[in-house]
Every structure is written in structure tokens, then in C-alpha cells.
């Protein structure tokens, strides 16, 4: 799936926009856990999509006058991840052939699940500056930021890559295997370690990983540009937003994060507009311009989804419901593992599903397996990684200065 201009469904291609996500996505829970534990803001940083605690614990960016809770962020992540999963399981998979009215209705109902990707990108545009400002981030902290990101994201990502390649290697030896045989190319494999496959022209091993590459590019650029974007001179910010919108309009290659510039720009402007001391009419106009650019480049449905995401975050307007919040806490693992676990359940079940009722049972089994697997990965890998990343601090506490 191509979730967009890239995000619009099209041919499945590992290098261009083929399945959807997270990025977490971003980092919300490291922040949540450190701030809620009463640590200094210099010790906090956002966690990627699907971290361990609810986004309601996101801290205020005190200098900008932000409110201390944005409870809707986790809920949005949970809904986005679940929507992407349904899109893959129903709309793209062969479990529901389009030869019955029920199957056709199921495919129609899950088609818009691909909008989870633009939702994730808008969230990233908001949460990254929000959390970094709260942490007192400065350019001198860049290497620390990268270290925190890698510790936070890599273990879960590399586990998914190892399991995916292992199962692929085993399946390719079976007589019933009908897919492409696994070929391990050193350059292609190494490019995955730094989320560089798309930039270096390699195909991603999993159709989900392309969004991680886009998100990581955004992380690096934002970490370098943030002091200018939130500094006292708003012209730097306005110039950056206009540049992102221009790159989006120019349809730069889909392997570059700027191809999705309007989505990230809308998230950044949502962060700005939540700040009473920073927002301006120019920023409101640029947020509206981002929606117009999205409507032109991706269509009004994507633009509407992005605008709704920004409004929900801006007003913290999504009701809190624990099951959805829980989905948000496992959204990163769910995004990475639902195709590894759930789709294999689907492929086995397809052999026995002969009617609509049995297909629904197989779908429910695939969803349940994906959720259980995601929770297990979170418990044993993602959440421990998150806690370890939270110990990497931007600033030394008074107790450690001079040690």
C-alpha cells in the first residue's frame, strides 16, 4: 500500500510507499514515564509510536506555555495502528475475495485504514518538538538524542527484522511456498540498520519499514533545526514550513521525508498553535495552507484525516477509552509485528475458510494473535528498551555534576 501521495494505495513496493505506520513514529512514553516519575525535564524525551505509558503523561513545554496533558495522542496512535492492520488483513489480503457482497463490504469498510500513516506523520510533527522542548534540548545534545532514539527503537525493530527473515527463510524451503525466495545481500541488510534502505536504493525486507526510514529522517532534521524553529525569530520557522510545503507540492522522491512535508508541517504548526506565547496568525495560515497542499497532492480524504488529527491534538478532543489507550501503548510493536504474525495466521486460515462466517473467525484469530504478540514484544523488548533510553539524559542532575 502506498499511504499517501505515497499514502494512496498502489503497487506494493518496499522502497516507495507500500505499507503504513508508526513511526513512532516517535517517542511518547519515555517522556511520560520520566516526567510522571518526577524527574527533571532534561531527562525526558518522547517515545516512538507504541511506547509504554499513555500520552496523557506527555509533559508541558513549560517555556511555551503548553498544557501538561495531551491525552488524545495515544488514542490516535492506537486507532491508526489498528486501522493499518485491518487495511492489510482485509483490503489487501486474499482472505476476503470480492465475489460476495459481504466480502466487498468488508474491503470497502477497511480501505481507509491506510490513513493511519498520515495520522502517524502528523503526530510525529507535533510530538517531536513538543517533547524535545520540554526536555530542554539543544544542538549540543544531538548525539545524545540519536543515542536515545536508537536505544528506544532499534531492539524492537531488529527483532522484527530477524524474525521476519528467519520465517521467510524457513517458508522458502517448504514445497508449498509460492513467494519470492529470500536473498540476503550484505548491502541491503546493512542499509536496514540505519533506516537507509530507501535512500540507498535498496528494497525494504518488510513492506512496513519504509515509514520508519521516513520518520528517522524527520527526527534527524528536527533535532538539528529545532533551536531555530522554536527560537525567538519566527521567520526561521515560517521559512522551514514553507520549504516543507514546497517540497510536498514539488513531489520530491518518496524516499525523502520532505515528500510528506505537509503532514509534518501540520503537526509542527499544531505544536506552535498550542503555545499562547508563540502562535500567530501566520502560523494559523500556514496550518491551513498545509491542509490545502494535502488536498491538492493526496486528495481531500487524506487532507481531512490530517486536519482532523491536528484538531484533535490541538484541542485534546478525543474521549479517553482504556482499550484504545492500550492499543496506543503497543502501537509500535503492533505495526511491526502484525504482518509477521497476523498475516501468517491468515494464510493458514485461508485454506479452511470456505464462507463468510469462517473468514471472520480467521480474521479475529489473526487480530488476536497480532495483539498478543505485540504485547509480548512490548513486555520483553520494547518497554525495557524504553526504560533504558530514559536513563540516557540530556543534562546531568546536580547529584552527578562533577562525578
Give tens-digit pLDDT for 36-46. Answer: 333 333 333 33
**Mean pLDDT, range 195-217, rounded to an integer:** 96
Look up residue 269 and give its three cell numbers: 504548526
3-class secondary-structure state, position 355: coil
Where exactly are the structural domains of the chain? 18-390
Give tens-digit pLDDT for 237-280. Answer: 999 999 999 999 999 999 999 999 999 999 999 999 999 989 99
**Considering the chain, what is the average pLDDT of its residues?**
84
Kindly list the distances between the CA atom of residue 278 and the CA atoms of 33, 61, 70, 270, 353, in Å, as whole numbers in the listed order. 27, 12, 18, 11, 57
pLDDT reading at 307 higher than 80: yes
pLDDT reading at 30 higher than 50: no
User: Do residues 328 and 50 make contact, with C-beta atoms less than 8 angstroms apart?
Assistant: yes
3-class secondary-structure state, position 342: helix
Residue 195 confidence (pLDDT) = 96
Look up residue 68 and give its three cell numbers: 501538561
pLDDT reading at 338 higher than 90: yes
Lowest mean pLDDT, pick from 27-31, 307-311, 362-366? 27-31
| pTM score, whole prediction | 0.84
Distance CA 232, CA 220 (A): 22
Best CA proximity match to 120, nearest among 211, 29, 1, 57: 211
Give tens-digit pLDDT for 110-142. Answer: 999 999 999 999 999 999 999 999 888 988 999
- Phi, psi (deg, nearest 5) at residue 112: -80, 5
Instruction: DSSP for 249-313, please give it.
Output: HTT--TTSGGGGHHHHHHHHHHHHHT-TTT--HHHHHHHHHHHHHHHHHH-HHHHHHHHHHHHHH
Amino acid at each position: 500500500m502506498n499511504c499517501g501521495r505515497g499514502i494512496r494505495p498502489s503497487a506494493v513496493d518496499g522502497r516507495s510507499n507500500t505499507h503504513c505506520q508508526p513511526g513512532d513514529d516517535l517517542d511518547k512514553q519515555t517522556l511520560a514515564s520520566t516526567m510522571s516519575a518526577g524527574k527533571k525535564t532534561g531527562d525526558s524525551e518522547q517515545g516512538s509510536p507504541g511506547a509504554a505509558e499513555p500520552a496523557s503523561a506527555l509533559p508541558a513545554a513549560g517555556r511555551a506555555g503548553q498544557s501538561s496533558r495531551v491525552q488524545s495522542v495515544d488514542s490516535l496512535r492506537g486507532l491508526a495502528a489498528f486501522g493499518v492492520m485491518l487495511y492489510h488483513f482485509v483490503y489487501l489480503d486474499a482472505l476476503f475475495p470480492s465475489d460476495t457482497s459481504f466480502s466487498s463490504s468488508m474491503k470497502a469498510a477497511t480501505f481507509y485504514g491506510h490513513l493511519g500513516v498520515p495520522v502517524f506523520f502528523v503526530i510525529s510533527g507535533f510530538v517531536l518538538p513538543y517533547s524535545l522542548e520540554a526536555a530542554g534540548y539543544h544542538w549540543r545534545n544531538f548525539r545524545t538524542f540519536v543515542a536515545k532514539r536508537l536505544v528506544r527503537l532499534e531492539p524492537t525493530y531488529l527483532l522484527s527484522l530477524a524474525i521476519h527473515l528467519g520465517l521467510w527463510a524457513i517458508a522458502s524451503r517448504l514445497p508449498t511456498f509460492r513467494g519470492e525466495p529470500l536473498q540476503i545481500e550484505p548491502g541491503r541488510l546493512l542499509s536496514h540498520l540505519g533506516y537507509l534502505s530507501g535512500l540507498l536504493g535498496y528494497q525494504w525486507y518488510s513492506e512496513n519499514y519504509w515509514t520508519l526510514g521516513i520518520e528517522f529522517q524527520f527526527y534527524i532534521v528536527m533535532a538539528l533545526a529545532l533551536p531555530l524553529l522554536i527560537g525567538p525569530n519566527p521567520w526561521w520557522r515560517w521559512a522551514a514550513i514553507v520549504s516543507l510545503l514546497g517540497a510536498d507540492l514539488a513531489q520530491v522522491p518518496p524516499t525523502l521525508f520532505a515528500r510528506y512535508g505537509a503532514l509534518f508541517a501540520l503537526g509542527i504548526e499544531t505544536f506552535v498553535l498550542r503555545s499562547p506565547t508563540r502562535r500567530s496568525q501566520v502560523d494559523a495560515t500556514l496550518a491551513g495552507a498545509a491542509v490545502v497542499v494535502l488536498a491538492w497532492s493526496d486528495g481531500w480524504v487524506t487532507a481531512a484525516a490530517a486536519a482532523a488529527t491536528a484538531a484533535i491534538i490541538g484541542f485534546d478532543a478525543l474521549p479517553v477509552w482504556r482499550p484504545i489507550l492500550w492499543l496506543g501503548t503497543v502501537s509500535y510493536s503492533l505495526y511491526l509485528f502484525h504482518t509477521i504474525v497476523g498475516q501468517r495466521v491468515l494464510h493458514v486460515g485461508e485454506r479452511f475458510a470456505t464462507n463468510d462466517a469462517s473468514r471472520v473467525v480467521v480474521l479475529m484469530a489473526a487480530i488476536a494473535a497480532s495483539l498478543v504478540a505485540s504485547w509480548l514484544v512490548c513486555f520483553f523488548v520494547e518497554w525495557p528498551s524504553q526504560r533504558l533510553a530514559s536513563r540516557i539524559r540530556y543534562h546531568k542532575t546536580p547529584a552527578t555534576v562533577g562525578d
